Amino acid sequence: MSTPEQNKAVLERYYEECLNKGNLDVIYEGATEDHISHGTAANGKEGVEHLKEWVRLQRASFPDLHVTVDDWILEGNKVVSRFTARGTHTGDDYAGLIPAQGRKLEIPGIVIDEFNDEGKIVESWFSMDSYDLATQLGAFDAPPA
């Protein structure tokens, strides 16, 4: 059975290697094949491939994406990470809707990850203020005259 500290180490590697450096294959080391992700798609999405694609899309929009964990809470088989994501929207349209305008993004969020006995993530709950994100990216700005 994995310890809370071992589970945190899995997430530290995920944040640094996958989110910050773009090494997407690290996802296979830390999550189960049937991982369930809440908050990255309506009604949750199953499968490690969905998680990998979600990270790929974030990095495609924000090539300089950097996520810093501000707080860790370890409780049994769950790890909570309160983070701040920073980046510059110079890549793809965000969510296929918001065109890149070179705007800086700095937004907090929280993830709760649940681990199995082998130390792999089986389910994740992701929360971030989508309105704040869209506002920072200029989604609600008036179009040029």
Using one digit for the tens of pLDDT, what is the confidence trace for 80-101?
A: 999 999 999 999 999 889 999 9
CATH of the domain at 15: 3.10.450.50
Total of domains in the chain? 1
Among 108, 111, 109, which residue's Cα sits nearest to residue 73?
111
Are the C-beta atoms of residues 121 and 114 closer than 8 Å to each other? yes
Residue 80 is assigned to a structural domain of this protein: yes
User: For residue 127, what are the domain limits?
Assistant: 4-137
Structure confidence at residue 41 (pLDDT): 72
The residues facing 112 across adjacent strands are: 80, 125
Q: What is the mean pLDDT of residues 31-58?
A: 86
Are the C-beta atoms of residues 90 and 63 closer than 8 Å to each other? yes
Q: Could you give the C-alpha distances from 76 to 5, 73, 104, 119, 121, in angstroms and in order?
A: 10, 10, 36, 12, 13
